[in-house]
Amino acid sequence: MAKHFASRPFSMRYAVLITGPAGAGKSTFTRAFLNHLRLQKRTAHLVNLDPAASPTSFEVEPVIDIKDLVSLEDVMTELEYGPNGGLVYCFEYLMQNMDWLEEELGGFEDDYLVFDCPGQIELYTHHPFLPTLVQNLTRLGVRVCATYLIESQFMEDRYKFFSGVLSAMSAMVNLEIPWINIMSKMDLVTANPDDKSAGARNGLRLRKDIARYLDPDPLLLATRRGQEGNTPNPRFHALNQAIVQLIEDHPLVSFLPLDLTNPDSLETVISHIDFTMQYGEDEEPKEPHDLDEGDFHDME
């Protein structure tokens, strides 16, 4: 189907890995991302890296689908693995067959490839699969960056939120590539006390309060639960203090808010992604495809 990359001249291509825990809105963001790029007349394609994804879940058909190589359903049926073990096997199989991915990628030049990844965060935080994938993409002349999504519901529980911050930090350290963290589903949070729409499922928050989560404030975790009317648990005080110190010493994680009901919000996120991986900076001016020798013969 696609030609081998080695047979084509070098050309800069771009890949964005859409990562994060299950339910964070990765697939929804991916669809909006692709639609926005196409409205901007960019050549953008979906690459599915989730071997468990249902074909009906794709609004845009993937140009490359890991299920053409290996599917989680087949692995669970034939090897009698569970879902998590089966997913790990699928990625091990992909790593052993990177020539398949190289051949599939060979048909794309100067393209924007959006990789929709699974929701198992262990793939990002401590397994070597995605770092190996990134190394191979880089070798093939693909400029790579990643996004990590957590949803706004995490702001409802400061401890859950900081577990998300630490998982994002772990993934960043593991992959070692340009990185954008995104707080998704911000349409479910309102910063307007006069908004009576009841659409803010994840609660009313003042802008100042939201800012403490977008640029994580370690003091949120340091605040004793006794201030909320609960009995503080001293057993976890030292652990909380250590986490606070870690975040203060290594302030790697901050979040861009994403509200997909607001086109400006999506545009802001995409512009940050473009800037992070220096989109278009190495491109040469191109002659339009319809400007062949005979187009302007009558004007000479």
For the chain, first and last CA: distance in Å? 42
DSSP state of 283: P
| Cα angle 58, 59, 61; round to 5 | 65
Q: How, if at all, do strands 255-257 and 64-65 pair? A: unpaired
168 located within any domain: yes
Which run of H or of E encompasses 179? strand 179-184
79 located within any domain: yes
292 located within any domain: no
pLDDT tens figures, 220-269: 876 554 444 454 566 777 777 788 888 888 888 999 999 999 999 999 99
Report the chain's mean pLDDT, rounded to a whole number: 82
Q: Which domain holds residue 257?
A: 13-191+201-225+233-277
295 located within any domain: no
Contacts of 142 (CB under 8 A, 6+ apart): 13, 14, 15, 105, 113
pLDDT tens figures, 65-79: 999 999 999 999 999
pLDDT of residue 233: 65
The answer to pTM > 0.85 is: no
**φ, ψ (nearest 5 deg) of residue 208:** -65, -40
Q: Which of 43-47, 205-209, 285-289 has the lowest mean pLDDT?
A: 285-289
296 located within any domain: no
pLDDT of residue 6: 42
39 located within any domain: yes
How many domains are contained in the chain?
Answer: 1
287 located within any domain: no
**CATH number of the domain within which 165 lies:** 3.40.50.300
23 located within any domain: yes
DSSP 9-31: ----EEEEEEE-STTSSHHHHHH
pLDDT of residue 202: 46
125 touches 27 (CB < 8 A): no
Q: Which amino acid is it at 33? A: F
